[in-house]
Structure 1
Amino acid sequence: MTTETSKYRRDMGTLGVLFIVVNGLIGAGIFGLPEALHGAVGTFAPWLLLIGGTTVMAIVICFIELTKLTDRSGGPQRYVGDAFGAYPGFVIGWTFYAARLISQGANVLVMAAYAAALWPVLGEGFAKVILIILVLGGLTIINVIGIGRVVIVLGAMTVFKLLPLLLLTVIGIGAATHSGPVELPEFSAVEGIALAALYAFVGFENATIPAGETKNPQQAMPRALMAGLAAVTLLYFGLQWAYSHSVIAGTGSDAPLTALAGEYAGDIGAILIAATIVLSVLANLTAGHTSASRIPPSLADDGLLPAWFGKVSRWGTPANSIVFFGVVAILFSLWDDFLALAAVSTLARLLAYISSIAALPKLRQQAGLAPFNTTIIVAAPIALSLSLWAATQTDATQWQALGGFAMVGTLLFFIARRANNAV
């Protein structure tokens, strides 16, 4: 894979990449997961999350190896395209982008729903529409005027959303009731909840996409990926431990962490966690906007989409693509019947994992390296097995939706190729 000077400004360092990793992983899911995990496997739940994070580390290790081979934007699209050709890379990039665009619209509705729990007027009508436009419009503006500014905003969000969670973890562990030794659950119970635990760890790949706007990405990204997943895994373990050893565990709460905070700090604690959920989803939206909006410029740079998507603003950012992403996400968020398609985002991620890992040996050969090293020999089989298993847990509707996105993308691909050949 070639290394070349980026036409975009490299304003993001290791810390910025770390913020994208952490906020790509921590959205709204972990706030509802503790009760479901405890109900399935009891006090083994924290250990299941620890096992899940450790297993997903195999996928992350493969991506770490991939990030060492290029400093260009695109992430999975770049890896697959450089290894297997323009069209396979385009399909991976386009389907990932389309699914992420839809999930961005779905996630902002999730944020609005949580915000309405704090201020009911935001839950419907004109106020809800204004909130959506302000959030996605604001994220668009921040991204246009520089990824360095995104890092500042994302850093502040990360601190303010992690502090309450860390505080709840410490208080919860300190107040945990003694429940004796951990009892191993039945395998069928683990199998039934394992996919939900695994989904708590998807989203790290977002950080690999804006490599062209990152300082020394071949060093920054491996460090941030490893540190980010490790930190989030430990946080999940601590939160689940605190919950599973509390009097709230097993009560069937729909908002387990809010209930746990209410147990220790009353209404103030519950409100604080509710506000933390809103901020967490907002930070996840920020990280998603920053990463996904950089996919079309990568495709445009390779002549696979119109050059319009790759136009650089005076701030050194792909402004047209960023604005396009923001506007379309707003339109999706105002359409109430599309939410079932949000699950397609996970399937697109899994296919990106599988194809990127499969590309690794060939990319290493292109770089003049041996196709396999000890790290890859150990990690790749685990990573591929886990991703393939997760992909088999999806349903036909998700595959059909993803196929529809691929067909639309294919049409755009050949239009762009024809236009480039005509020049």
Structure 2
Amino acid sequence: MKSVTSKYRRDMGMLGVLFIVINGLIGAGIFGLPEALHAAVGTFAPWLLLIGGLLVMAIVVCFAQLTKLTDRSGGPQRYVGDAFGHYPGFVIGWTFFAARLISQGANVLVLVAYAAALWPLVGEGPAKIALIVTILGGLTIINVVGIKWVVAVLGAMTLFKILPLLILIFVGVSAASSPANLVLPQFSAVEGIALAALYAFVGFENATIPAGETKEPQRAMPRALMIGLAAVTLMYFGLQWAYSYSVIAGTGTDAPLTALAREYAGDIGASLIAATIVMSVLANLTAGHTSASRMPPALADDGLLPDWFAKVSRWGTPANSIIFFGVGAVLFSLWDNFLVLAAISTLARLLAYILSIIALPILRKRANLPAVNLTILIAAPIALSLSLWLATQTNIHQWQTLGGFLLAGTMLFFIARRRSRPLI
């Protein structure tokens, strides 16, 4: 794989990559998952999350190996493009970007909904639109003026959202009833909820995209990926344990962690967790904006999109692409009937996982390394099987929608091929 001097400023270290990993994984999903998992598999729920984290670790191991082979931005697009050619790389990059753009609009609506529970004024009308524009506009400005500012903001957000959860884990586990003998659930029950559990672990790949703005990415990214997933898995395990062995487990609450906090700290605890949810979604939006907005410049650097997307600002950032992403997210957030399309972001990720894993031995051989080592020999079959199984859980509508975005992107691809400089 090619390594070239980056035209972007490398202002992000391993800690910044770690923040993107953690905030890419922890969004709003885990705050509503504990009751659904407990209802399906009872006190086996914490162990199901632990198993899910270990299975996804196989995919992360493959991505950690891939990040050692390039210092250029693009993540899955870079891996697939370097292994199979420009158009396959474009397909992965463009569909990932399009899906993330839509889900960014969906996620900001989730944030507004949670914020409205605390401040009802922002739940509708001009105040709602103003909040959406303020959030996405603010994220756009921070990304334009430099990724070091993004790292600082993400660091603060991570602290403010992780600390209350750690306190809840400590209090909840300390107060939890003594576990009885573990009862293994029926396989059908596990199969029915496994997809939802595994979806809580997608998003780590966001951190691989801005490699061109990362200091020593071939060292920083593998470490951040492994540490980030391990830390989030343990946190998920602790939260689920605290919930499953509490008196409110199985009560059917729609806000399980808020209810758990209220059980131990009253309305103050519930309000704190509600604020934590808002902060968590905001941090997830920040990480998503930072990673997805770097995908078009990576495509443009290879002549796969018009050069406009790769224009560098005075701060050493791809400003045009960042602004394009911010404006697009605002427009999608104002489209009332688009939320169903957000499901295709998971499908786009799965396609990226599958082709990136297949690309790994090819890229290692081109780097004059053995096609596989013991780590890959163990991890790759598990990672590929898991990704393929998850892909079979999607529906035809999601594939059709993804195909529509691909068709639109392909038109831009051929325009860029005709007008751009020779491909590198």
Given that 2:100 and 2:288 are in contact with CA atoms closer than 8 Å, whether structure 1 keeps it comes out as yes
1:108 corresponds to which residue?
108
Change (3 A) 1:40 1:167: same
2:405 corresponds to which residue?
405
1:212 corresponds to which residue?
212
Q: Deviations along 1:77-119, whole A, 9 cap, x unmatched?
A: 0000000000000000000000000000000000000000001
User: Structure 2: which amino acid aligns with 1:86?
Assistant: H
Alignment of 1:124-203 (within 5 A): 124-203=124-203
User: Hey, what's the Cα distance between the residues in 2 that align with 1:368 and 1:413?
Assistant: 31
Tell me the SS of whatever aligns to 1:337. coil
1:51 is displaced (CA, Å) by 0.2
Tell me the SS of whatever aligns to 2:12. coil
Q: Deviations along 1:149-193, whole A, 9 cap, x unmatched?
A: 000000000000000000000000000012411110011100000
Q: Do structure 1's residue 41 and structure 2's residue 15 form an aligned pair?
A: no
User: Hey, what's the Cα distance between the residues in 2 that align with 1:401 and 1:421?
Assistant: 31
When normalised by structure 1's length, the TM-score is 0.99
Tell me the SS of whatever aligns to 1:41. helix
User: Hey, what's the Cα distance between the residues in 1 that align with 2:175 and 2:372?
Assistant: 48
User: Hey, what's the Cα distance between the residues in 1 that align with 2:187 and 2:420?
Assistant: 55
> Which deviates further from its counterpart, 134-143 or 366-375?
366-375
1:346 corresponds to which residue?
346
Q: Deviations along 1:184-206, whole A, 9 cap, x unmatched?
A: 00111000000000000000000
Q: Do structure 1's residue 267 and structure 2's residue 251 form an aligned pair?
A: no
Identity of aligned residues (%): 79
Q: Deviations along 1:53-85, whole A, 9 cap, x unmatched?
A: 001000000000000000000000000000000
2:295 corresponds to which residue?
295
User: Hey, what's the Cα distance between the residues in 1 that align with 2:159 and 2:421?
Assistant: 49
User: Hey, what's the Cα distance between the residues in 2 that align with 1:64 and 1:77?
Assistant: 15
User: Hey, what's the Cα distance between the residues in 1 that align with 2:241 and 2:102?
Assistant: 33
Change (3 A) 1:145 1:422: closer
User: Hey, what's the Cα distance between the residues in 2 that align with 1:312 and 1:409?
Assistant: 22
1:421 is displaced (CA, Å) by 6.8
Given that 2:64 and 2:221 are in contact with CA atoms closer than 8 Å, whether structure 1 keeps it comes out as yes
Count of residues in correspondence between the two structures: 423
Tell me the SS of whatever aligns to 2:180. coil
Given that 2:10 and 2:215 are in contact with CA atoms closer than 8 Å, whether structure 1 keeps it comes out as yes
Given that 2:50 and 2:237 are in contact with CA atoms closer than 8 Å, whether structure 1 keeps it comes out as yes
2:29 corresponds to which residue?
29
Coordinate RMSD, CA, aligned:
1.0
User: Hey, what's the Cα distance between the residues in 1 that align with 2:73 and 2:181?
Assistant: 48
1:89 corresponds to which residue?
89
1:334 corresponds to which residue?
334
User: Structure 1: which amino acid aligns with 2:180?
Assistant: G
2:229 corresponds to which residue?
229
Given that 2:307 and 2:420 are in contact with CA atoms closer than 8 Å, whether structure 1 keeps it comes out as no
1:365 is displaced (CA, Å) by 1.1
Given that 2:306 and 2:415 are in contact with CA atoms closer than 8 Å, whether structure 1 keeps it comes out as no
Given that 2:310 and 2:321 are in contact with CA atoms closer than 8 Å, whether structure 1 keeps it comes out as yes
User: Hey, what's the Cα distance between the residues in 2 that align with 1:384 and 1:344?
Assistant: 19
2:309 corresponds to which residue?
309
Q: Do structure 1's residue 384 and structure 2's residue 384 form an aligned pair?
A: yes
1:422 is displaced (CA, Å) by 9.8
Q: Deviations along 1:281-314, whole A, 9 cap, x unmatched?
A: 0000000000000000000000111111001111
User: Hey, what's the Cα distance between the residues in 2 that align with 1:7 and 1:159?
Assistant: 31
1:420 is displaced (CA, Å) by 2.6
User: Hey, what's the Cα distance between the residues in 2 that align with 1:382 and 1:287?
Assistant: 27
Q: Deviations along 1:15-47, whole A, 9 cap, x unmatched?
A: 000000000000000000000000000000000
Tell me the SS of whatever aligns to 1:226. helix
> Unaligned stretches of 5+ in structure 1?
none
Change (3 A) 1:9 1:251: same
Q: Deviations along 1:198-223, whole A, 9 cap, x unmatched?
A: 00000000000000000000000000
User: Hey, what's the Cα distance between the residues in 2 that align with 1:422 and 1:229?
Assistant: 39
User: Structure 2: which amino acid aligns with 1:125?
Assistant: G
Tell me the SS of whatever aligns to 1:336. coil
2:247 corresponds to which residue?
247
User: Hey, what's the Cα distance between the residues in 2 that align with 1:416 and 1:220?
Assistant: 32
1:285 corresponds to which residue?
285
1:7 corresponds to which residue?
7
